Every structure is written in C-alpha cells, then in structure tokens.
Amino acid sequence: MNMFEPVIVDTKRLRLRPLRTEDVSIFFDMWSDPEAVRYFSFPPMQDIEQAHARIAEKLQSSSDGNSVICVVESRDTGEVLGDCALFNGVPHSKRADIGYCLGRKHWGKGYMAEAADALIEHGFKRAGLRRIEADIDPRNLPSIQLIERLGFKREGYLRERWMIGGEVADTVLYGLIHSDRYQS
C-alpha cells in the first residue's frame, strides 16, 4: 500500500514539488556544507557521487510510497531553497517522520516554517496521517524552535543515539498528533 504519492503544494512564497535526479548538484552544495548538515545523521559530503546515491535512495523511497519528498522552491524565482519530507511512513500506524534541509543563505527568513507547515497539512488532511515525529539533535536550537512553533511536543530524550563522523550525539524526540492540530 502506497502511503504517499508525489505532490505539488503551493504556499504564499513557495512551491513544494517532487525531487528530481537533476536536483543533485543543488543538494550536493547543501549536503557538502558543514554548517547546513551539522546535525544530520551523515557527515558533510565530499563527492557528488554521494549526492547521486542519496537522491537515488530518496527517489526509491518516494516511488515505493514510503515518503513524500518535496523540493522547496521560491515561487518568485524558481530557485531551490532546500527540501522538506515526510518519510519512514508506517501505514498501519498512520505515522511518519518529518525532516528538512535549507541552504544556509536562506536561513532566518521563515521559509522552512512555511514549507513544513504546508507539508504537515498535506500529511494530516490528504495522506491521512495520525502522527508525525521529529528526531532532532538537542544542540540544533533553530530546528527545535521551528518544530515547537509548528505545535510539536517534546516526548523524549535519547542519549548517545547517533554516531556521526566519529562524534556521538544525543537526540530529542518530538511528536505532533492530528488532534493537537485539529481539535474538534
């Protein structure tokens, strides 16, 4: 059963559209930036082939219906700003994880709040999700602030969960359930 289908979502300033193979160079630039991926589950990329492999994995997950991966573009210019995704979908539990990345030059402008809010809306109203989860490094304060502004609740703290580039990292778990957002 496909949990997700590719989608195009327009917001006031943004267009969320499906990821394409030809997006690889833009995402290599983001994924090779040590600041942009500081709190990711992989170290900065060194070679564009790594980006090709990651894009291929994301496209496969999307075609399997386990995720909806959206490239975030400016509606005015068409420039790719980053990506936002619902992934690791579990159909029988009606839940998925949310993740995102934004090019550093676009930080602090509210783009990811706008994109994530639209994708959450899609997840609950169109994809039938009951729960969305976020796994965040506790040192990533901007991401924590974003997720909390979107209504997510802190639900747990896992010590030494990740090993990234030789560094041990903790994680904070957040959850948002349908009834948190749409109270009857």
110: left (phi over 0), alpha (psi -120 to 50) or beta: left
Q: State the average pLDDT over residues 139-144.
A: 95
Q: State the average pLDDT over residues 65-83.
A: 96
Q: What is residue 1's predicted lDDT score, i.e. its pLDDT?
A: 61
Q: What is residue 184's predicted lDDT score, i.e. its pLDDT?
A: 55
Structural domain spans, the chain: 9-130
Q: What is residue 73's predicted lDDT score, i.e. its pLDDT?
A: 98
Q: State the average pLDDT over residues 125-147.
A: 96
74 with 112: CB under 8 angstroms?
no
Q: State the average pLDDT over residues 52-77.
A: 95
Q: What is residue 79's predicted lDDT score, i.e. its pLDDT?
A: 96
CATH of domain 9-130: 3.40.630.30
99: left (phi over 0), alpha (psi -120 to 50) or beta: beta
By the 10 Å C-beta count (0-12 exposed, 13-18 middle, 19+ buried), 41 is classed as middle
User: Tokens 């209504």 appear where?
Assistant: 151
DSSP assignment of 54-111: HHHHHHHHHHTTS-EEEEEEETTT--EEEEEEEEEEEGGGTEEEEEEEE-GGGTTSSH
Q: What is residue 176's predicted lDDT score, i.e. its pLDDT?
A: 98
The rounded distance, in Å, linking the Cα atoms of 134 and 126 is: 20
pLDDT digits (tens, 9 = 90+) for 2-61: 789 999 999 999 999 999 999 999 999 999 999 999 988 888 999 999 999 999 999 999
User: Tokens 């997720």 appear where?
Assistant: 147
Q: State the average pLDDT over residues 96-119.
A: 97
Q: What is residue 165's predicted lDDT score, i.e. its pLDDT?
A: 72
Side-chain-facing half-sphere of 57: CA atoms under 13 Å = 8
The rounded distance, in Å, linking the Cα atoms of 61 and 56 is: 9
Give CA 17 to chain center in angstroms. 13
Q: What is residue 42's predicted lDDT score, i.e. its pLDDT?
A: 87
Q: What is residue 41's predicted lDDT score, i.e. its pLDDT?
A: 83
At 182, is the pLDDT very low, low, confident or very high (cuts 50, 70, 90)? confident
The rounded distance, in Å, linking the Cα atoms of 111 and 159 is: 30
9 with 16: CB under 8 angstroms?
yes
Q: State the average pLDDT over residues 73-90.
A: 96
The rounded distance, in Å, linking the Cα atoms of 40 and 182 is: 30
37 with 44: CB under 8 angstroms?
yes
Q: What is the residue-averaged pLDDT of the chain?
A: 94
What amino acid is encoded at 176 in this protein? L
pTM here is 0.93
